[in-house]
Amino acid sequence: MGKPAGYWVNKIRTSFKGGSSSSKSSEDGSASGSRKSGSKHSRSQKTEESNKNVEAGGAQAEGGRKVMVVVDTTSQSKNALQWALTHCVQDEDNITLLHVTKTPVGQGGDETQRERNSRAHEQVHPLKNLCQLKKPKVKTEIVVVETAEEKGKAIVEESKKQGAGVLVLGQRKRTSKWRVIWKWRTKAGMGGGVIEYCIHNSDCMAIAVRKKSNTGGYLITTKRHKDFWLLA
pLDDT in tens, 81-103: 999 999 999 999 999 999 999 98
pLDDT confidence of residue 103: 87
Does the pLDDT of residue 5 top 60, yes or no?
no
Strands 218-221 and 139-147: unpaired
What percentage of residues in the chain have a pLDDT greater than 90?
44
pTM (whole model) above 0.85: no
Averaged pLDDT, 25-52: 44
Max CA distance (Å), the chain = 75
Quickly state the pLDDT bin for 109 (edges 50, 70, 90).
low
pLDDT confidence of residue 57: 41
pLDDT confidence of residue 121: 94
Quickly state the pLDDT bin for 32 (edges 50, 70, 90).
very low
What is the rounded average pLDDT for all residues in the chain?
75
Does the pLDDT of residue 107 top 90, yes or no?
no
pLDDT confidence of residue 14: 59
By the 8 A CB rule, do 208 and 199 touch? yes
Strands across the sheet containing 228-230? 139-147, 94-102, 66-70, 166-170, 205-211, 218-221, 228-230
Helix (H) / strand (E) element for 215: namely: none
